[in-house]
Amino acid sequence: MAHEPPAPSPPLDEAEVLDRLRRGGRAVVALSGGVDSGVVAALAFDALGAAATAVTLTSSAVAEREVARARAVATAIGIRHREVAADPIARPEYRANPSDRCYHCRAVESEALVRFGTANGARQYLDGVHRGDLADDRPGLRAMDAAGFQHPLLWMGWGKAEVRAAARRRGLPNWDQPSDACLASRVAHGDPISADLLRRIESAESIVLAAGFRRVRVRVRGRSARIEVDPTEVARLSAEPLASRVVRAVASLGFETVTVDPFGYGARPPGLPVVP
């Protein structure tokens, strides 16, 4: 089931959003390394200046490259930036990896953000949810809504294309960065999640990224791993000697079977097993 969108209303323009943010008072922005939250952080800074704080959550589920990207985005904007530890791995429901895993993750994260905000006098909490996020089943959105987070990109009716265009106009360093997701999204539902497994996934993806690929997922089921890159780059990753070198390096992290997905990220036909 897709996330239920808010009641329809005329979209606001950017000036109206800035005015609404100013009236909302001191703000905490949940800043990942992604372009969506980066644009919201920029809007909040334009509206509130020093009364806006971008907070990046750190945990075993968040790759260090994402945290580093968030730092770069915050620096480019000029917004005050803090890193706060909030690891959902401590929650048994998250470790069990059910289909609503994202709800349990976002519940932990939103609690940490609200704690930080309460201690720092925040009046509003903002995230990077946009129109395109409403089309899918996103249990995590329910947790953020329950915690009182607001979605400025939805106020304007923006989708990903409008967000990227705004990020490019503003000169954000990640404006064309491929979308990412938490490391736990690589693990098949029902397979337990551990901090060790997430670290191995991050290391595996770093190996492939270091070989020059921009979008990488290393998906795991049991002790098998499947490497996904963009469909246009599958041929390069499948060619020798690169294929053997990458597969050996990923296998050395403790995976018994490592394959390269022949379709590529986002192109695998539905119904095929997670790992061939």
Note if the bond before 6 is cis, omega within 30 degrees. no
- Tell me the two tokens of residue 39: 């644009």
pLDDT score, position 268: 72
pLDDT score, position 224: 96
User: Top-level CATH class of 194-260?
Assistant: alpha beta
pLDDT score, position 273: 56
114 contacts: CB under 8 Å, gap ≥ 6: 125, 147, 148
Is domain 14-170 classified as CATH 3.40.50.620? yes
Task: Quickly tell me which residue has 């000036």 as its tokens.
Answer: 15
pTM: 0.91
Longest dimension (CA), the chain: 59
Q: What are the boundaries of each domain within the chain?
A: 14-170, 194-260
Pairing verdict, β 27-30 and 124-126: parallel
Contact 41, 31 (CB under 8 A): yes
Q: What is the DSSP string of 55-102?
A: EEEE-TTS-HHHHHHHHHHHHHHT-EEEEEE--GGGSHHHHT--TTHH
pLDDT score, position 140: 85
- Tell me the two tokens of residue 26: 């001191």
- Integer Cα distance of 98 and 100 in angstroms: 5
pLDDT by residue for the chain (276 residues), tens only, comes to: 344 445 447 899 999 999 999 999 999 999 998 999 999 999 999 999 999 999 999 999 999 999 999 999 999 999 999 999 999 999 999 999 999 999 999 999 999 999 999 999 999 999 999 998 887 667 888 899 999 999 999 999 999 999 999 999 999 999 998 888 899 999 999 999 999 999 999 999 999 999 999 999 999 999 999 999 999 999 999 999 999 999 999 999 999 999 999 999 987 777 655 543
Contact 187, 196 (CB under 8 A): no
pLDDT score, position 271: 63
